[in-house]
Structure 1
Amino acid sequence: MRLDSERVYIRRLEMDDLEALLDLRVRNRYFFKTFESVTSDSHFTLEGQQEILEKVQHNWETDSGYAFGIFLTQQDRLIGRVNLSNVVRGAWESCTMGYFLDEHYNGQGFTTEAVRLAIGFAFGPAELHRVQAAVMPRNVGSIRVLEKAGFRYDGFSEFYLKINGVWEDHNLYSITRERWNS
């Protein structure tokens, strides 16, 4: 499955993406450090990324998560990821969203395009009702992505996630099928 916008497309990450994903992670290791929970050097190895891709495949197969690569359409180059994780069915029909983009491509609207595509998948083929996202208050760029994609501010959560070894506060955002303007 491939979902296209004007300048990027997203598709399920596959084992064929292993080397490109490792390259992306290694090149952006220090840029991403202040925004994610990774603490192990093994994450930045071929084996570490292979384990991640194996988990991605398992999550797709069990309907518990959907990890997409973000690709530049013209160059067919992997520049990031957008994830629909922690899928819960039943009365909740919801998931959490996370994403990252190569530092070189930040601030150009690519993440917003990819997030919109992922929301379309969530409310379309995945048949979810709600997508939630959490972002540190100081991550202004990420907040702007969520706002442009139609997410609404839900509230503040103290000591929400451990990021770079520190329990960080987060703003919580969500979008529901009723509020989605595809």
Structure 2
Amino acid sequence: MMSDINGRVSIRFLDVGDTEDMLNLMLRNRELFEGVSPARNESYYTREVQAKSIENGVRQKEEDKRYAFGIFLNATGQLIGDISLFEVQRGPHQKCILGYSMDQAHNGKGYMSEAIQLVMKFAFEEVGLLRVEAGVMPRNVGSMRVLEKAGFQREGLARKLLEINGVREDHVVFAMLAEDYLGK
């Protein structure tokens, strides 16, 4: 479990014991998450698919391809979100993409900013990445604010980057470099 001394949240790698909590998080926030995520079929919202997703995350961590964490409230231990570093590229790239989601009941409280700081520490200090990228639809102002607050730099617009609900959506591209993080 990774946490700051004065932090309100911790992150830790998800394991199959988190399946039920992850399923409940996805079900509670289905409408919100579907508005900003690629299409998911109905089976996504089952215990079996959530368990398989977590198992895949464990395997991908061992393969240095993806690092999937749960975000937990320190006060209660409740799973309130997830955050991951995916599409890890080594060799000359040494980069990945940051993805995250937060239970809508906990939005706007600064928890995601804390979680991003913890995952950046992991990315740059523990697994030696040099660049972390994130993409956000321009209408998702709150998510852009979270990235800027965390120290990400806006780099530009990726036109029609990802299909969301059958529509190719533009995404504002953000990045943080190891030198940005370590220079803080």
What code does the residue aligned with 2:80 have? I
1:87 corresponds to which residue?
A: 88
1:26 corresponds to which residue?
A: 27
2:10 corresponds to which residue?
A: 9
Partner of 1:119, secondary structure, is helix
Q: What is the total number of aligned residue pairs between the two structures? A: 181
Q: Structure 1: where are the runs of 5+ without partners?
A: none
Is the 1:39–1:164 contact (alpha carbons within 8 Å) kept by the matching residues of 2?
Answer: no
Partner of 1:35, secondary structure, is coil
1:160 corresponds to which residue?
A: 161
Shift of 1:58: 1.1
Shift of 1:39: 2.5
How far apart are the structure 2 equivalents of 1:147 and 1:164? Answer: 26
What code does the residue aligned with 1:11 have? R
How far apart are the structure 2 equivalents of 1:135 and 1:121? Answer: 22
- C-alpha deviations, 1:83-125, integer Å up to 9, x for none? 1000000111000000000000001100111011101100011
Aligned positions of 1:144-155 closer than 5 A: 144-155=145-156
How far apart are the structure 2 equivalents of 1:164 and 1:9? Answer: 32
Residue 70 in structure 1 maps to residue 68 in structure 2? no
Is the 1:43–1:49 contact (alpha carbons within 8 Å) kept by the matching residues of 2?
Answer: yes
Shift of 1:38: 3.1
Percent same amino acid among aligned pairs? 43
1:111 corresponds to which residue?
A: 112
Shift of 1:50: 1.2
2:180 corresponds to which residue?
A: 179
TM-score by length of 1: 0.97
TM-score by length of 2: 0.96
2:62 corresponds to which residue?
A: 61
How far apart are the structure 2 equivalents of 1:36 and 1:165? Answer: 11
